[in-house]
Amino acid sequence: MQLKCCNKIICLKIPFHLQQLRYLDVFDGGSLLRVIEVEAPNLSNFQFMGHRQVQLSLAVGLQFKKFDLSFPGAVSYVCSAFPPSLRYVEALSLGSWREMIDTPVLPSKFLHLKHLSVDLQAMTFPPTYDYCSLISLLDASPSLETLVMNVLQKKMLHESIVGDTSHLRQMPGHRHDSLKTVKIIGFSSAKSLVELTCHIIENTTSLEGLTLDTTRGHPSYSCLTNNIGKCMLLRGDFMVEVRKALLAIRTYVEPKVPSRVKLNVVEPCRRCHDQPLIIC
């Protein structure tokens, strides 16, 4: 079932008698929606995408397998208001273009979570946000195998590790021994992002592949995958940050990567960007 925006709905209720309902997608383009109540007992896949936070009321006994949330503050919301129904989720996708507080330590765990996607891309993400706060989310997911993060920013205002003389922070006591594949799109020189990456490398004995993509990460931007045979050019300030990100990878990340882990660093195509960079 797919529900689109209705501007006058404040509370959306999915009743118990909809026992055959398996999939529910809710897209809110700017209505008055504040609460979503779900009682349908066999609902396993849920998606909500909106421009503001909603309050989720999930019936006891629900066992979601796939759960997608996208609104400002979605990461901290799920972590702080942990619904028991998410204890069984296997694939979790969180999208947020504004996290004003760091991810808190979870009181419970995503015991069955295998695939986690965290999308924090924005024009400019709040520079006070500490990417290392996501460690608590990883620590709460002992079965996690795949992590995909999108941290793309058109203008990176976080503290850069390039030129920083202080030591990287160490976060002992956290092990992620099921994690095999990690991909970070829009990788930058943000110090806390580099610290998070190094933490994952040092505390994940099961890690097999690590991809750090310093580009926009979308096929339409690459000459290898779009239909025009030429990369979409990137702005000069974006490319300045790309160079910082690549320096951060060489300086801090590569030395920590063990031989058993395949490191894939994605950078802008040199053939297409060996010229003035003029558009976004």
In the chain (280 residues long), the average pLDDT of successive 10-residue segments reads 69 90 86 88 93 88 92 88 84 90 75 96 87 90 96 90 87 84 96 96 96 79 58 70 94 96 88 47
Question: Where do the domains of the chain lie?
Answer: 63-266
Chain-centre distance for alpha carbon 166 = 27
Residue 10's alpha-carbon distances to 6, 114, 206, 207, 263, in angstroms, are 9, 33, 45, 44, 47
Type of residue at 156: M
pLDDT of residue 218: 64
β strands within 110-249, DSSP E:
115-119, 146-150, 181-185, 209-213
**What pLDDT was estimated at residue 240?**
86
